[in-house]
Amino acid sequence: MKTLDMCFRLFERYESIEKVENYYGLLALYALAQSSRAAKDDKQLQKCMDMLSLYPDRFDHPHYNFSCYEVGGNGKAWLVYQGLWDEERKNIKKYAEMTLCAPTDAQGILCHPQFLPDSNKIWIDVVYAVVPFMLYAGLALGEEKYIDFAAEQCFKMYEVLLDRTCGLLHQSRGFMQNPKFVSHDHWSRGNGWGYLGLTELVLHLPKDSKHRPKAETYFKELSEAFLPFQTEKGVWRQEITCGYAWEESSGTGLIAYGLGVGLRLGLLEKERFKEPFEKAIRAICAWFIRDDFSTTMCCCGCLCPGDGADKGTIKAYLTVVRPITDEHHSYGCLMLALLEAHRNGIVEIEKDGR
């Protein structure tokens, strides 16, 4: 089956089971926009733009923590950056300016707006929310301050949440019983969120950008940190470091996406990373996407799960949240992985790689 056709079938499955909305829906639309462009499929692209055209004024928005979701998030900003939607330039600028003014902690890191004035609460998921959006806004509108903001948010979050003993990322700080502590996890999708921000920076920052050296360094270090924990099957686990944790699909998709970008850019050595990337793509098709394009083994939305002394512990990430079929976070993550497989020359793939 054509790899990009699998992306479209995944999206069709998603919209058949629930309304495509919130940040996870916008992630799927972000993947759909890029997949449509890669396939040169005007029908799919128009479908994506029609859905995003409801943002910001013709959509019954759920609650958002960040204003950039209200305008259509990364997908709309990417389309403007690609020169495909000039009519939305004013809206992208408006919401980029709003993002610049969002509340931050003492280090200048975007914090959880619901918990002000306690500004110690930060979480890696925010990298997905704002880094690509602000990067594309800056590139599209010629606003260096947006690019600076994107890079600085990604780097600061990475530096605060990095576990230097293994090179992986924790999800959050400030949500445990002691608000000074970071969560104990190395959560699959959380690492994927952080990796996605670094991936988009190395993919799109200008070659002479002052941010490029640090972006490439952090990207390569996190890429390297993933390899020892890839399972024999080719995926990554809910708690990446734990050999008995369940295998998780959304984090695997995001990690595979980043590995593919790194290979394509020549930032990652083929001798070391090509087989892990291809193994992950095969495993995604074999184990996480069913024949009807439903998805499996995806973690639900969670932020420092658990109660009392268990809150934010590895135990909580493994027992409080469980794998779900057709979980809405899964679709965009798996679509991005397949998109990058196509860009790496895997234009057709066995539906069942087992």
Per-residue pLDDT at 111 exceeds 70: yes
- Mean of pLDDT values over 198-209: 98
Reported confidence tier of residue 179, pLDDT bands at 50, 70, 90: confident
CA–CA separation, 192 vs 257, rounded Å?
A: 9
Per-residue pLDDT at 277 exceeds 90: yes
pLDDT tens digits, 1-13: 999 999 999 999 9
Q: Is 164 exposed, middle or buried (0-12, 13-18, 19+ CB in 10 A)?
A: exposed
- Other Cβ atoms less than 10 A from the Cβ of 273: the count is 20
- Mean of pLDDT values over 129-151: 98
3-state secondary structure the chain: CEHHHHHHHHHHHHHHHCCCCHHHHHHHHHHHHHHHHHHCCHHHHHHHHHHHCCCCCCCCCCCCCCHHHHHCHHHHHHHHHCCCCHHHHHHHHHHHHHHHCCCECCCCCECCHHHCCCCCCEECHHHHHHHHHHHHHHHHHCCHHHHHHHHHHHHHHHHHHEECCCCEECCEECCCCCCCCECCCCEHHHHHHHHHHHHHHHHHCCCCCCCHHHHHHHHHHHHHHHHHHCCCCCCEECECCCCCCCEEHHHHHHHHHHHHHHHHHCCCCHHHHHHHHHHHHHHHHHHHECCCCCECCEECCCCCCCCHHHCCCHHHHHHCCCEECCCCCHHHHHHHHHHHHHHCCCCECCCCCC
Give the CATH architecture of domain 3-343. Alpha/alpha barrel (1.50)
CA–CA separation, 58 vs 72, rounded Å?
A: 11
Per-residue pLDDT at 33 exceeds 80: yes
Per-residue pLDDT at 113: 81
pTM: 0.97
Per-residue pLDDT at 112 exceeds 90: no
Query: Phi then psi for 244, rounded to 5 degrees?
Result: -105, 5
Per-residue pLDDT at 67 exceeds 90: yes
Q: What is the dihedral of CA 214, 220, 225, 228, to 10 degrees?
A: -170
CA–CA separation, 93 vs 175, rounded Å?
A: 32
Per-residue pLDDT at 117 exceeds 80: no
Per-residue pLDDT at 242 exceeds 60: yes
- Whether omega for the bond prior to residue 56 falls within 30 degrees of 0, making it cis, is yes
Domain boundaries, the chain: 3-343
Per-residue pLDDT at 119: 67
Give the tokens for residue 89: 């330039």
Reported confidence tier of residue 237, pLDDT bands at 50, 70, 90: very high
Residues 6+ apart with CB under 8 A from 189: 248, 250, 251, 254, 299, 329, 333
Residues 6+ apart with CB under 8 A from 342: 3, 4, 35, 38
Per-residue pLDDT at 353: 52
Q: What is the mean pLDDT of the chain?
A: 96
Per-residue pLDDT at 177 exceeds 90: no
C-alpha distance across the termini of the chain, in Å? 15
CA torsion through residues 160, 163, 164, 167, sign: negative
Which residues, listed in sequence order, are joined to residue 303 by a DSSP beta bridge? none
Q: Which of 63-77, 100-114, 157-171, 295-309 has the lowest mean pLDDT?
A: 100-114
Per-residue pLDDT at 106: 87
pLDDT tens digits, 308-321: 999 999 999 999 99
Of all residues in the chain, the percent with pLDDT exceeding 90 is 92
Of all residues in the chain, the percent with pLDDT exceeding 70 is 98
- Whether omega for the bond prior to residue 117 falls within 30 degrees of 0, making it cis, is yes
**335 close to 14: Cβ distance less than 8 angstroms:** no
Per-residue pLDDT at 354 exceeds 60: no
Reported confidence tier of residue 295, pLDDT bands at 50, 70, 90: very high
Say which residue the tokens 């993919």 belong to: 203
Which residues, listed in sequence order, are joined to residue 348 by a DSSP beta bridge? 2
